[in-house]
Copies of this chain bind each other. A is one copy, B any other.
């Protein structure tokens, strides 16, 4: 599950559209859902558009893992940060990823722990 979390964050950080799409196709189920306080999407097209929109909103920022991944069965919970590369994260969040029997991401339940007012939508 630690690997799938790394892959998950790699999807969020992948700015090359074709490579990102390939990552989505390989590691997410076709009907995978992603829900966080600002998004509620399903399927590769919508996931791809959501990731691209966040990248456009915060150009050059990167997602990084925060703390350990706690995983069991088909579940993993973990924290993450978003901010300029190499700097203290500006946005801090927490996700639970659910995988299917093949280890592909089936759903993501996302929450936000720190959103500075200047980055809020």
Residues of B within 8 A of A70 (CB): 111
**Dominant SS at the A interface?**
strand
Count of identical protomers in the assembly = 2
Q: Which of B72, B74, B75, B109 contacts A75 (CB 8 A)?
A: B109
Residues of B within 8 A of A44 (CB): none
How many A residues, CB 8 Å from partner? 15
Residues of B within 8 A of A4 (CB): none
Q: Which of B73, B74, B98, B111 contacts A77 (CB 8 A)?
A: B111
A35–B73 touching, CB < 8 Å:
yes
Residues of A within 8 A of B (CB): 35-37, 40, 70, 72-75, 77, 94, 96, 98, 109, 111
